Amino acid sequence: MMVKITTGRVVLALSAALTLGLGAAAAGLVPVAASTGHWKITDWFLHWTMQNSARTYSAVQTPKVIRDDTGLVSAAGHFRQSCQVCHGAPGEEPSPVMQAATPPAPNLAKTAGHYTDRELFWIIRHGVKFTGMPAWAGKSRADEIRRMVGFVRRLPTMTPRQYRALTRPIAGAPLPQCAGCHGVDGKGRAQPDIPIIAGQDAAYMLRALQAYKSGKRASAVMQTAAAGLDEAQMKAAVTYYARLPGLSHGPVTDRHAIVAKGLPEAQLPACAQCHAPGKAAPVITGQRAAYLAERLRQWRGEDTVIDAHKPQDPMAVIARRIPEEALDDLAESLAAPTGQTATGTTMP
């Protein structure tokens, strides 16, 4: 007997299937236990879908520059604190508790090569739904994500000794988790992305840590570091670093016109107007030039975002008014007179 397929019968069949599916879900019959895992075809389909999605969206939702290989210390430190427990690391096994998730986090030393730099950037920034992979805590901090892409790219060839050299706690400071990146001397282990905090104003550093902990200030790296600190630990850390020799508390140098006078025609105030002794702004005289230039560029935001959609806080607005060709010279004019360099740490 021939069954004639009509529009009505198709709609009826689809409605019946939908009703059956909703009924099963309402009755709690759909298994969601992580202990049961996925069928192989389900696992393949979800992974295939994720890879296709990352490939498509990364082509249109990533900035021009998506990788930075110079900030290994901060990226490795954040990886140790936030990622190692799930993914493992060179010489470090992942937590068996986290590996009981469905799906379990992959060994990045083995799987990173399956993705392009652009796809890695997109995945790290946005995370992956229906897995334990979160979005980057400070999505506006493309600089941090670029450094993490560079770090993940090193994992396949990184030895346990190299990983320990990048992430080992350093004794001699009140909080080893601070010294891991900032060093016992507060000079950032000569890393271009880590600021010199030796000699920085203690009150400013305390406000910064409090803002990171509350989420008012964006940085996945610093928000993670500050989350585990109580008020007493914060005060101990900032007091220790503020007393070290480093940044200069004298008037900012006037070697650059923008420092002393700004650009009145662009409504750009002088740096010295806020960054001066007795002001609430941080001390920048003697800061690492590479760090200052990078932070100014980060505040400017991505070229693909129109100005109206970018942050409107004072430093973001000021950074966008500084001519691009003047950024590096401006940073150099404020750089450390003692010869601090922006050279990266060489792995042993």
Asked, for residue 7, whether it belongs to a domain, the answer is: no
Residue 272's identity, in one-letter code, is A
pLDDT of residue 337: 57
| CATH number, residue 181 | 1.10.760.10
Residue 10 tokens read as 């198709």
Do 159 and 50 have their domain in common?
yes
* Range(s) of the domain holding residue 181: 169-246
Do 132 and 95 have their domain in common?
yes
pLDDT of residue 60: 93
> Domain boundary at 152, 167, 182, which?
167
d(CA 243, CA 201): 9
Do 54 and 157 have their domain in common?
yes
Asked, for residue 30, whether it belongs to a domain, the answer is: no
| CATH number, residue 96 | 1.10.760
Do 94 and 117 have their domain in common?
yes
How big is the CA angle at 310 (ends 225 and 333), to the nearest 5 degrees? 70
Asked, for residue 12, whether it belongs to a domain, the answer is: no
d(CA 74, CA 55): 27
Asked, for residue 40, whether it belongs to a domain, the answer is: no
d(CA 189, CA 147): 16
Residue 130's identity, in one-letter code, is F
Each residue's pLDDT expressed in tens, for the chain with a length of 348 residues: 566 788 888 888 899 999 998 998 899 888 888 888 888 999 999 999 999 999 999 999 999 999 999 889 999 999 999 999 999 999 999 999 999 999 999 999 999 999 999 999 999 999 999 888 999 998 889 999 999 999 999 999 999 999 999 998 777 667 888 889 999 999 999 899 999 999 999 999 999 999 999 999 999 999 999 998 999 999 999 999 999 999 987 777 667 888 888 899 999 998 888 888 888 889 988 899 999 999 999 888 877 777 777 778 889 899 999 999 989 998 988 874 533 333 333 344
Our count of domains for the chain comes to 3
With 0.75 as the threshold, say if the pTM is over it.
yes
Residue 101 tokens read as 């998730």
d(CA 235, CA 28): 51
Element (H or E) spanning 315, and its range?
helix 314-321
Do 130 and 208 have their domain in common?
no
HEC string for 38-97: CCHHHHHHHHHHHHHHHHHHHCCCCCCCCCCCCCHHHHHHHHHHHHHHHHCECCECCCHH
Do 163 and 190 have their domain in common?
no
The three-state secondary structure class of 335 is strand
Tell me if 59 sits within 8 A of 118, measured CB to CB.
yes
The three-state secondary structure class of 263 is strand
pLDDT of residue 302: 79
> Domain boundary at 190, 222, 246, which?
246
d(CA 238, CA 229): 12
Do 137 and 203 have their domain in common?
no
What are the Cα distances from residue 291, in Å, to 5, 175, 286?
Answer: 69, 23, 11
Tell me if 178 sits within 8 A of 88, measured CB to CB.
no
